[in-house]
């Protein structure tokens, strides 16, 4: 895979798989407002995914459109980070995942907005506004749960502990790409560190750093997610509303 | 195409008879907030004629990346132009510059408020964090309001409540 294609595909896959996971909360969120919130955030992620995958298909030049890339690839062909494919867990785990994802996507899209590739710059400029709102939302909940009751604190700390090892993969150096994710780590650490401190949540020991998503080596969770996401399109090729 | 849900609703979303391409497109109503046009919202960026082919080229931009109304808006634009004598129009979607609620026209803001939807405050340009301004109740005008939900019935809205008249209302989030 060439550099720009692989980079754009990875970002599109992050957004697509995050959207699919978040959508699983629909009708199951702890309150009505949160049901609407998670569905809206999923919709934003899906919007970014469609733009990124459409552009990735053009960069590849093999005639694959957004649907071909989303619905007709096998698990080993996906390039999303492991973080987004992890199961939702309880609400605190989901908010921990959203905090890490949005605190990564915000500086990433912001940097992308200034890159020389006009298409990626336009997508970045658009998506960063939405990521900022997602980060605000996750921040509110992590603080509320972390600095809440004994039980909510225990669950929030557990959520961060479960998710944190998967944050490191996001910032693996890719110096040949429009934005090297390694350059975003300091901003991420500062933003998330401030939120966790106010939430009275301890930053976990970062010794374990599972990775492989960018090379197509995923957890078993992705395969089940794809089976559900792709079944209709594969059973009825070309189906539309 | 789905059939109209209410009896008597016109099939075309064009609000008035028009002849010019620009007027035809500007009159297309937003499918989710049906009191404003895509021109009021700033979704419509330009209507131009290709000098070579004579085809009308319409450029639009989404409010949010995942806005599910875009497909309907494209179809409505083509239908409005066909009715105005331009059956082979092209609709292009651009993402840069990114849409901002500052592009909602004064007329659009007045229409939103009249429909019970609080329009957005101007977006601060000099900082990352938006200043929390009081949102006035679109029904009674009171500034004594509170946010119920940060997200609402469409991607661009949040749900608020007035503490004075106790009515809930939609608010278009500043973006």
Mean pLDDT estimate for chain B: 85
Percent of chain A scored above 70 by pLDDT? Answer: 99
CB pair distance less than 8 Å for A33 and B155: no
Q: Nearest-CA neighbor of A21 among A240, A219, A233, A241?
A: A219
For residues B36 and B84, membership in a common domain is answered with yes
Phi, psi (deg, nearest 5) at residue B145: -130, 160
Distances (CA, A) of B116 to A14, B106, B110: 38, 16, 10
- Domain span including residue B123: 116-172
pTM for the model: 0.90
* Type and span of the H or E element at A105: helix A91-112
CB pair distance less than 8 Å for A126 and B98: yes
Number of domains observed in the structure of chain B:
2
For residues B26 and B65, membership in a common domain is answered with yes
- Spatial CB neighbours of A179, under 8 Å, sequence gap ≥ 6: A108, A111, A112, A115
For residues B47 and B86, membership in a common domain is answered with yes
CB pair distance less than 8 Å for B67 and A47: yes
Q: How confident is the model at residue A199 (pLDDT cuts 50, 70, 90)?
A: very high
| CB-based contact A10:A214 (threshold 8 Å) | yes
Q: H helices of B11-142, where?
A: 21-26, 38-41, 70-83, 106-114
Mean pLDDT estimate for chain A: 96
Residue B46 in contact with partner chain A when CB distance is under 8 A = no
pLDDT single digits (tens) B40-67:
999 999 999 888 888 999 999 999 998 8
Please check whether residue B98 lies inside any domain of the structure. no
For residues B31 and B68, membership in a common domain is answered with yes
For residues B129 and B82, membership in a common domain is answered with no
For residues B89 and B128, membership in a common domain is answered with no
CA A171, CA A182: separation in Å to the nearest integer? 5
Q: How far is A91 from chain B (nearest CA, A)?
A: 17
Q: What is the rounded average pLDDT of the residues B135-162?
A: 92
Fold assignment, A3-235 = Ferritin (1.20.1260)
For residues B40 and B72, membership in a common domain is answered with yes
For residues B80 and B138, membership in a common domain is answered with no
Q: What is the rounded average pLDDT of the residues B128-153?
A: 83
Please check whether residue B55 lies inside any domain of the structure. yes
| CB-based contact B143:B160 (threshold 8 Å) | no
Please check whether residue B84 lies inside any domain of the structure. yes
Please, which residues 141-170 of chain B have a Cβ atom closer than 8 Å to chain A?
A: 148-153, 155, 159
Residue B128 in contact with partner chain A when CB distance is under 8 A = yes
Please, which residues 59-88 of chain B have a Cβ atom closer than 8 Å to chain A?
A: 62, 64-68
CA B168, CA B46: separation in Å to the nearest integer? 36
Q: Which of A38, A121, A126, A132 to mutate to test the interface with B (most CBs of B within 10 A)?
A: A126
Considering only CB atoms, A51 lies closest to which of B65, B151, B155, namely B65
Task: Number of A to B CB contacts under 8 A, please give it.
Answer: 67
pLDDT single digits (tens) B82-138:
999 999 999 999 998 999 999 999 999 999 999 999 999 887 655 555 555 689 999
Please check whether residue B99 lies inside any domain of the structure. no
CB pair distance less than 8 Å for B159 and A33: yes
CB pair distance less than 8 Å for A33 and B62: no
pLDDT single digits (tens) A52-110:
999 999 999 999 999 999 999 999 999 999 999 999 999 999 999 999 999 999 999 99
pLDDT of B117 reads 95
Q: What is the rounded average pLDDT of the residues A121-131?
A: 96
Percent of chain A scored above 90 by pLDDT? Answer: 95
Residue B148 per-residue DSSP state: E
pLDDT of B50 reads 85
Core vs surface per residue B26-50: b (16+ CB within 10 A) or e: bbbbbbbbeebbbbbbbbbbebeee
Contacts of B149 in chain A (CB under 8 A): 32-33, 36-37
CA A120, CA A112: separation in Å to the nearest integer? 6
Give the length of chain B.
175
Residue of B nearest to A137 (CA): B150
pLDDT of B7 reads 41
pLDDT single digits (tens) B11-21:
444 333 345 89
């Amino acid at each position: 895979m060439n550099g720009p294609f692989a980079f754009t595909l990875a970002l599109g896959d992050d957004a697509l798989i995050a959207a699919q996971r978040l959508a699983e909360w629909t009708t199951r969120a702890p309150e009505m407002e949160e049901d609407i919130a998670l569905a809206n955030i999923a919709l934003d992620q899906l919007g970014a995914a469609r733009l990124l995958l459409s552009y990735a298909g053009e960069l590849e030049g093999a005639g694959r459109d957004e649907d071909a890339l989303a619905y007709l690839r096998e698990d080993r062909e996906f390039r999303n980070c492991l973080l987004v494919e992890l199961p939702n867990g309880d609400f605190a785990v989901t908010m921990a995942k959203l905090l890490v994802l949005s605190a990564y996507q915000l500086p990433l899209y912001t940097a992308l907005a200034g890159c020389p590739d006009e298409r990626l710059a336009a997508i970045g400029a658009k998506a960063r506004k939405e990521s900022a709102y997602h980060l605000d939302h996750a921040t509110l909940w992590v603080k509320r749960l972390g600095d809440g009751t004994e039980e909510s604190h225990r669950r929030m700390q557990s959520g961060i502990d479960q998710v944190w090892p998967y944050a490191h993969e996001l910032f693996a150096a890719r110096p040949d790409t429009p934005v090297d994710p390694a350059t975003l780590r300091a901003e991420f650490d500062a933003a998330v560190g401030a939120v966790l401190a106010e939430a009275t949540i301890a930053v976990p020991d970062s010794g374990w750093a599972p990775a492989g998503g960018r090379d197509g080596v995923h957890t078993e969770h992705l395969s089940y997610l794809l089976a559900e996401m792709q079944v209709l399109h594969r059973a009825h090729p070309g189906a539309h509303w | 195409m789905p059939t109209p849900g209410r009896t008597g609703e016109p099939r075309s979303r064009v609000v008035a008879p028009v002849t010019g391409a620009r007027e035809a497109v500007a009159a297309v109503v937003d499918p989710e907030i049906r009191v404003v046009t895509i021109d009021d919202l700033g979704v419509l960026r330009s209507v131009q004629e290709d000098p070579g082919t004579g085809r009308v080229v319409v450029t639009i931009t989404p409010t949010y990346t995942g806005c599910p109304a875009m497909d309907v808006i494209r179809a409505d634009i083509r239908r409005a132009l066909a009715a105005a004598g331009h059956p082979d129009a092209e609709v292009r979607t651009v993402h840069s510059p990114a849409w901002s609620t500052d592009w909602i026209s004064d007329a659009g803001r007045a229409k939103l408020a009249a429909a019970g939807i609080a329009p957005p405050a101007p977006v601060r340009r000099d900082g990352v964090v938006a200043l929390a301004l009081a949102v006035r109740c679109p029904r009674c005008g009171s500034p004594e309001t509170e946010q119920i939900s940060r997200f609402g019935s469409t991607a661009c809205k949040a749900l608020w409540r007035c503490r004075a008249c106790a009515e809930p209302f939609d608010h278009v989030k500043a973006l």
